[in-house]
Amino acid sequence: MSLVLLELGAVARLTLNNPPLNLVTEELLVELDAALGQLEAADPGAVRAVVVSGNGERAFSAGSDVKAFESHTGAAGRAHFTREEAVFARLAELPMPTIAAIEGNALGGGLELALACDIRVASERANLGLPEVRLAVTPGAGGTQRLPRVVGVARAKELALTGRIIDADEAERIGLVSRVVPVGQAAAAAEQIAADISQRGPLAVREVKSLIDLSADADIGTGLAAEIDASERVFKSEDMLEGAQAFVEKRQPHYRGR
Supply the residues annotated as catalytic.
112, 132
What is the residue type of 38?
Q
- CA distances 91 to 34, 100, 136, 182, Å, are 11, 11, 27, 27
Task: Please tell me the distance from the alpha carbon of residue 186 to that of residue 171, in angstroms, as a whole number.
Answer: 14
Task: Please tell me the distance from the alpha carbon of residue 256 to that of residue 242, in angstroms, as a whole number.
Answer: 9
